[in-house]
Structure 1
């Protein structure tokens, strides 16, 4: 696996878009989280504060996930649009290894950027909030980083299936943002609860909660597991399709 991993790392690090998107992930996560934290003041949040300040501080993930989706989609879609996928498969005929190497390198890069953004957001919250969260809560912090990694893999999976960057990004954004909006628009409480429980993003974001856990549609770790299941299933399906079709 060393050769495919090195090849994928070389391709990703030489693309300017990779570093722009990773930088945007860090900035959006930190700045939007800090902005959300700044909305909590002693005037609107008396002591003891009932607001889930940890979840509020990590709300930047809801926007930075879009840059991660684009990063994952571009990593495969760009090769199809330029035709370099043929060169890749000529040099490395093992398609499962190619896809696994892309997923591994993307996961490491996204995890690093996500960790920097999430920890920066929590650090800024300590300076802004009147009653800052103590330390870096393990589950919300780790879960938020994993959300970004899984969304990147979702983008990679969709681009592998569709062979088109724009189509993969459009469908991915619909999954991330349109489905939660529809869940809020449906009049049926039963279907609202089902969509919040089984849609990837409403379910996954429950991992950020530190208060009122009994009101969540799904528990934190199982909620993250829903997103993981979507990403894993689509990646496996993309791998099969990638293996069976011509480049």
Structure 2
């Protein structure tokens, strides 16, 4: 897998949009958190929760990075060269997922603690739990993997971004359109965004952190399995 990792690292890090998207993910996450904490005028505001609000905006940039990592090759036709030089498609997919995850974790490791530091400066209080930090970083990495799997299955940048953003931002709203309360709660819990909030939260929520992580891992596994299967069994 060393050859595939080196190739995917070179391709993604030399893509012109990659450094800008990584910087944008950091800036948007920190800026969104600063805006959220700065808008709080009540002493009862939850500092940690507000400090992590920027993650909801930063995930949009992370998703775009993952989608472009796949769809850029299909748009330029370079996918044919990649699969000719490295015919082990599942290994190529795993290498691409590894590189995207590594870059996302690096950006998140900068953005999330800095966002919490900004929140501490604006709204002084107790230090946040380590779970809030690690949960937010892990959430962004899993969103990148979910987006990667969706993009691999769809292979079109615009459509892939539309589907990913719908899953992240529209699906939670649609869950409230279900009339039966028990099903409404079920669909609400199954939304990645709501699960992400539960993983990051330092307060008791309807969905426990472990259950929320399970939901995110289920989405990730389903997305990656679908993408890998389609990549392996259909023409490039």
Specify the alignment match of 1:200 in structure 2: 192
Equivalent in 78, 83, 90 of residue 96 of structure 1? 90
Q: State how many pairs are aligned.
A: 236
Specify the alignment match of 1:13 in structure 2: 13
Normalized against structure 2, the TM-score is what? 0.95
Q: Is 1:219 aligned with 2:213?
A: no
Specify the alignment match of 2:131 in structure 1: 139
CA distance in 1, matches of 2:213, 2:31: 24
Specify the alignment match of 1:190 in structure 2: 182
Normalized against structure 1, the TM-score is what? 0.91
Q: Kindly indicate whether the alpha-carbon contact (under 8 Å) linking 2:50 and 2:119 is maintained by their aligned counterparts in 1.
A: no
CA distance in 1, matches of 2:193, 2:216: 7
Q: CA deviation at 1:192?
A: 2.8
Q: Unmatched 5+ residue regions in structure 2? A: none
Q: CA deviation at 1:225?
A: 2.0
CA distance in 1, matches of 2:82, 2:126: 47
CA distance in 2, matches of 1:201, 1:224: 11
Per-residue deviation, residues 131-158 of structure 1 (Å, max 9, x unmatched): 3331x42111111111111111111111
Specify the alignment match of 1:151 in structure 2: 143
CA distance in 1, matches of 2:214, 2:139: 10
Runs of 4+ aligned structure 1 residues displaced above 6 Å come to none
Specify the alignment match of 2:164 in structure 1: 172
Q: Unmatched 5+ residue regions in structure 1? A: none
Q: Is 1:120 aligned with 2:114?
A: yes
CA distance in 2, matches of 1:228, 1:57: 24
Q: CA deviation at 1:185?
A: 4.8
CA distance in 1, matches of 2:140, 2:155: 22
Per-residue deviation, residues 211-236 of structure 1 (Å, max 9, x unmatched): 2x1xx231012212211211111101
Specify the alignment match of 1:74 in structure 2: 68
Q: Kindly indicate whether the alpha-carbon contact (under 8 Å) linking 1:156 and 1:235 is maintained by their aligned counterparts in 2.
A: yes
CA distance in 2, matches of 1:132, 1:12: 40
Equivalent in 212, 230, 238 of residue 219 of structure 2? 230
Q: CA deviation at 1:190?
A: 2.5
Q: CA deviation at 1:9?
A: 0.7
